Amino acid sequence: MCLAIPVRVVELLGEAAAVVDLDGIRKEISVALLDGVSVGDYVIMHVGYALARLDPDEAERTLALFAAAIAEQST
């Protein structure tokens, strides 16, 4: 029910804020709900707040899971 998108942190600002980027669109958002956010991290953003980090390894694993489901089906 919640529109949230994965965005990349490109700059850390003071006061628990950061600039994030999605394909050239930049927005200043709050990272106050997370600890230890670094430049280069991907976060899930909702109403101007980062809610969670996106784990790139898990993302790869999930995509691999899709492929595995398909492979299983064809055996």
Partner 1 sequence: MKYIDEFRDGALARKLAAAIVAEAEPGRRYHLMEFCGGHTHAISRYGITDLLPPSVRMIHGPGCPVCVLPIGRVDLAIGLALQQRVILATYGDCLRVPASNGLSLLKAKARGGDVRMVYSPADALTLAQAHPEREVVFFAIGFETTTPPTALVIKQAARLGLANFSVVCNHVLTPAAITNILESPEVRQLGTLALDGFIGPAHVSTIIGSQPYEFFAEEYHKPVVIAGFEPLDVMQAILMLVRQINQGRAEVENEFTRAVSREGNVKAQALVSEVFELRRTFEWRGLGQVPYSALRIRDAFATFDAERRFSLETRSVADNKACECGAILRGVKQPRDCKAFGTLCTPENPIGSCMVSSEGACAAYYSYGRFRETPGVAAPI
Partner 2 sequence: MSAVRADYIRPLDIKHGRVDLSHGSGGRAMAQLVEQLFAAAFDNPWLAQRNDQALLPQPEGRIVIATDSHVVSPLFFPGGDIGCLSVHGTVNDVAMSGARPLWLAAAFILEEGFPLADLKRIVDSMAAAAREAGVPIVTGDTKVVEAGKGDGVFITTTGVGVVPPGIEISGDRARPGDSIIVSGTVGDHGMAVMSQRESLAFGTDLRSDTAALHGLVAAMIDAVPEVRALRDPTRGGLATTLNEIAAQSGVGMLIEEDAVPVQRQVAAACEFLGLDPLYVANEGKLVAIVPPEWAERLLQAMHAHPLGHQAARIGVVTADRHHFVQMHTRFGGKRIVDWLAGDQLPRIC
**Which residues form the interface with partner 2 (CB under 8 A)?**
1-3, 5, 19, 22-27, 46-47
Task: Give least dist CB 70 to partner 1, A.
Answer: 4
72 binds, among partner 1, partner 2, none (CB under 5 to 8 A by kind): partner 1
> By three-state DSSP, how is residue 33 classified?
coil
With respect to partner 1, which residue has the nearer C-beta, 12 or 54?
Answer: 54
Give burial (CB, 10 Å; 0-12/13-18/19+) of 41: buried
With respect to partner 1, which residue has the nearer C-beta, 4 or 12?
Answer: 4
Number of H helices, E strands in the chain: 1, 5
